[in-house]
Amino acid sequence: MSGIAIHEVGPRDGLQMETQVVPTETKVRWIRRLIDSGVDVVQAGSFVHPGKVPQMADTEAVLAEFGEARALSALVLNEKGLERGLAAGVGMLCMGVSASETHSRKNTGMGVEEATGRIVAMAKLALAAGRKVQVSVQSAFGCGFEGAVPRERVMRIARAYVEAGLRSISLADTAGHAIPGQVEEMFRELLALAPGIEAACHFHDTYGLGLANCYAALRAGATTIEASVAGLGGCPFTKVAGGNVCTEDLVHALQRGGVRTDIRLEPILEVSREVAAFFGREMPGKVCRAGAIA
């Protein structure tokens, strides 16, 4: 597990559900501290319609504070978002397709088949522009609207990625329905599609299994975990939104097993405490309240 990468998605996935808009300078301060902690990538924002997701309206302004920072990523949903992302100079572009027809239409206005074709074409353009690209299958483990999502539909999207030469692939549990046994089976199936796949996992802790699912994905061969500082997060277009796996809890758990001891936990905890103070409520993370075990 020594090669595990941590992709901090709090400044994007963590904030997109909040009604209280975080000032740009505050976001920038939080992102700088998260980068300084030693996590591998920080997702700084998303290039989406500001009217639909007001928290992300300042993504260009946030990224402008960091220049061509290779340690930053951003989400794009369509061709316009890709155009903005390339112009902003962000080092890593994330994009994906929901395996749930209902969630796909609510999130992007497209059905699964159309979204797959467009995302594959966008990913190729981003790679040709010299950007690192991660593609994802959202609602891979279930959907709040549809319930169980057929595994073959998930793998069909993943195969389309692989056939297009895309090797950095995330399976995302948008609705928080995943259970560890299912996670392990699906990641093994994903990694069997082709050699050289870099598998990432993205879990929401809606039903309390987020951290357990991370370990199941690691057992199967995933090498990147996406998590959110303070346990913030949730998709505004799913039926029951739950926060992401909490970054400080994840890092604390890994470090107790001797893994990723290079990451500094205290800057993450500082941001978590600031997040709680800013929104005026207790966050779901455990370590921030209980304190770290030395």
What angle is formed at CA 244 by the lines to CA 77 and CA 143, rounded to 5 degrees?
A: 65
Residue 24's alpha-carbon distances to 11, 63, 94, in angstroms, are 11, 10, 21
Q: Note the pTM of the prediction, 2 decimals.
A: 0.95
Q: Which residue has the tokens 């097993």?
A: 257
pLDDT for 243: 82
pLDDT, position 242: 63
Residue bearing the bigger pLDDT, 39 or 3: 39
Helix residue spans in 257-291 (DSSP H): 265-279, 287-290
**202-220 residue pLDDT tens:** 999 999 999 999 999 999 9
Give the domain CATH number at 234.
3.20.20.70
Look at 19-33, 60-74, 216-230 and tell me which has the smallest mean pLDDT: 60-74
Average pLDDT over residues 211-233: 96
Would residue 246 show up in a list of annotated catalytic residues for this protein?
Answer: no
Integer angstrom CA distances of residue 45 from 99, 158, 266: 23, 24, 23
DSSP 192-213: TSSTT-EEEEEEB-TTS-HHHH
52 pLDDT above the threshold of 90: no
Question: Which residues lie below 8 Å from residue 32, measured CB to CB, with a gap of 6+?
Answer: none
| Cβ–Cβ under 8 Å, residues 69 and 91 | yes
Q: What are phi and psi of 171, to 5 degrees?
A: -105, 125
DSSP of 32-86, one letter per residue?
HHHHHHT-SEEEEEEE--TTT-GGGTTHHHHHHTTSS-TTEEEEE-SHHHHHHHH
- Measured CA to CA, the distance from residue 113 to residue 169 in angstroms comes to 18
Residue 222: how many other CB atoms lie within 10 Å:
27
| Spatial contact of 112 and 98, defined as CB atoms under 8 Å apart | yes
Could you tell me how many residues make up the chain?
294
pLDDT for 15: 95
| pLDDT of 263 higher than 50 | yes
- Rounded to an integer, what distance in angstroms lies between the CA atom of residue 117 and that of residue 166? 13
Q: Is 159 left (phi over 0), alpha (psi -120 to 50) or beta?
A: alpha
Q: How far apart are CA 139 and CA 146, in angstroms?
A: 10
Least confident of 53-57, 211-215, 242-246, 282-286: 242-246
Output the average pLDDT for the chain. Answer: 93
Which structural domain range is residue 102 located in?
A: 5-290
CB atoms within 10 A of CB 19: 7
User: What tens digit of pLDDT does each residue of 145-175 get?
Assistant: 889 999 999 999 999 999 999 999 999 998 8
Question: Once rounded to an integer, what is the mean pLDDT over residues 171-198?
Answer: 97
Catalytic residue among 94, 201, 214, 235: 235
| Type of residue at 143 | C
Indicate if the pLDDT at residue 1 is higher than 80.
Answer: no
Q: How far is the C-alpha of 24 from the C-alpha of 161, rounded, in Å?
A: 34
Q: Among 51-65, 115-129, 149-163, 227-241, whose mean pLDDT is lowest?
A: 227-241
pLDDT at 59: 97
Evaluate if residue 68 carries a pLDDT over 80. Answer: no
pLDDT band at 239 (very low <50, low <70, confident <90, very high): very low
User: For the chain, how many helices (H) and strands (E)?
Assistant: 11, 8
Residues 90-124 have pLDDT tens digits of 999 999 999 998 888 877 788 889 989 999 999 99
Domains held by the chain: number: 1
Coil, helix or strand at residue 215: helix
pLDDT in the model for residue 132: 96
Distance of CA 222 to the CA centre of its chain: 14
